[in-house]
Amino acid sequence: MVDHLANTEINSQRIAAVENCFGASGQPLALPGRVLLGEGILTKECRKKPKPRIFFLFNDILVYGSIVINKRKYNSQHIIPLEDVTLETLPDTLQMKNRWMIKTSKKSFVVSAASLTERKEWISHLEECIRHLLMKTGRQPSTEHAAPWIPDKATDICMRCTQTKFSTLTRRHHCRKCGFVVCADCSRQRFLMPRLSPKPLRVCNLCYRQLLAEKKKEAEADQRQTEPICSAIQGYEPSSDDSDKSDDDKADQWPADTEFYTSPVSWSSFHS
C-alpha cells in the first residue's frame, strides 16, 4: 500500500488536508515517500481526565492533536517517530475499555478505542509500520521508554509518603522518572535527564537518590578506565568527591519500578 500511494496526487491531497486542519500552529507533514495510511479519534488518558484526540498514522510517524472542530480544525500537534514507538496492550478498567499504551523514549501515554476491533486494527497497522521502518533503517526496537503519568484522580494521597492528602491548596505533582503522583515535599529535587528534556526535571525523592547512585556508578566506571593512564603520570592523585551523596531519607513504601498499568494490584488496594 505504501509503495502504491507514495508520491501520488491523492496522497498529497490527504496530507495537505491534515496540514490545513492544524494551520499555522502545526509543522509541515509532506515529505517525499511519506504516506498517510489512516486516521481516527482515540481517547487519550490525560492527567486530569480522559480526552478525545485525533490521530493520524503515517508510514514513518504518528501525529495527534486536540480537536477544535472535527475534520476542520486541530491544534496542539504532536509528532512521534514510529521507530521510537513500542506498544503494550492493557486490561480494561471500569472507566476505560480497549486500552493500550504507546511508549516512546520521551513520552508514554495510554489510549483507548471505541471497540475491540478498532483497537486491533490500530495496533496491527502500527506494528506493521514499525516493523517495516526498523527493517528499512536497520535499527533495533527501542528499549528505553518514558514512564507514563498516573492520572491525578487515581489517588487522593501522595504515592511516596502516603501521608499527605491532596486538596485545593495541596497540589499534585508528577515525578518525571516514575510517573507517580506526589506531594511537593516528596518532589523538591530536580535532575537532568537529557533523553527527556535539556532542562532539569522534577523527580521524587526516591528516584532522585537512584539517579544520583547511577550517576555515581558511571563516574566511578569512567575513573577506573582512566586510572591506568593516570598512574603513569608521576605525582597524580585522583581526588574524591562525595558531593553527589544525598542525606538519608526515610524509606519509601513504594519502589520506583512499580508499574501500575501492568500490575494486578488495583488502585483501591493502594489506600488500604
What is the tens place of the pLDDT at every residue in 22-71?
999 899 999 999 999 999 999 999 988 899 999 999 999 999 999 999 98
Q: What is the pLDDT of residue 29?
A: 96
Q: What is the pLDDT of residue 222?
A: 80
What is the tens place of the pLDDT at every residue in 195-207?
888 899 999 999 9
CATH topology agreement for domains 3-137 and 149-221? no
Taking a C-beta distance cutoff of 8 angstroms, is the pair 253, 265 a contact?
A: no
Percentage of the chain modeled with pLDDT above 70: 82
**Residue spans per domain, the chain:** 3-137, 149-221
Q: What is the pLDDT of residue 133?
A: 92
pLDDT at residue 239 above 90? no
pLDDT at residue 252 above 60? no
Burial, 40: exposed, middle or buried (Cβ in 10 Å; 0-12, 13-18, 19+)? middle
pLDDT at residue 245 above 60? no
Q: What is the pLDDT of residue 242?
A: 45
Q: What is the pLDDT of residue 246?
A: 43
Candidate from 62-71, 109-118, 138-147, 174-183 with smallest mean pLDDT: 138-147
Q: Residues 145, 149, 153, CA angle at the centre, nearest 5°?
A: 160
Q: How far apart are CA 32 and CA 129, in angstroms?
A: 17
| pTM reported for the whole predicted model | 0.76
Q: What is the pLDDT of residue 267?
A: 40
**C-alpha 59: how far from chain center:** 21
Q: Residues 162, 50, 256, CA angle at the centre, nearest 5°?
A: 35
Q: Residues 198, 107, 217, CA angle at the centre, nearest 5°?
A: 60
Q: What is the pLDDT of residue 258?
A: 61
Task: Return the higher-pLDDT residue of 223 and 271.
Answer: 223
Contacts of residue 172, Cβ cutoff 8 Å, sequence gap at least 6: 152, 166, 181, 182, 183
Q: Residues 48, 51, 57, CA angle at the centre, nearest 5°?
A: 130
Taking a C-beta distance cutoff of 8 angstroms, is the pair 40, 55 a contact?
A: yes
Beta strand pairing call for 173-174 and 181-182: antiparallel
pLDDT at residue 116 above 70? yes
State whether CATH 2.30.29.30 applies to domain 3-137: yes
CATH number of 149-221: 3.30.40.10
Q: How far apart are CA 147 and CA 203, in angstroms?
A: 12
Q: What is the pLDDT of residue 69?
A: 94
Closest listed residue to residue 86, CA positions, set 123, 137, 46: 123
pLDDT band with cut points at 50, 70 and 90 for residue 269:
very low
Q: How far apart are CA 38 and CA 55, in angstroms?
A: 8
What is the tens place of the pLDDT at every residue in 134-163?
998 888 887 788 999 999 988 999 999 999
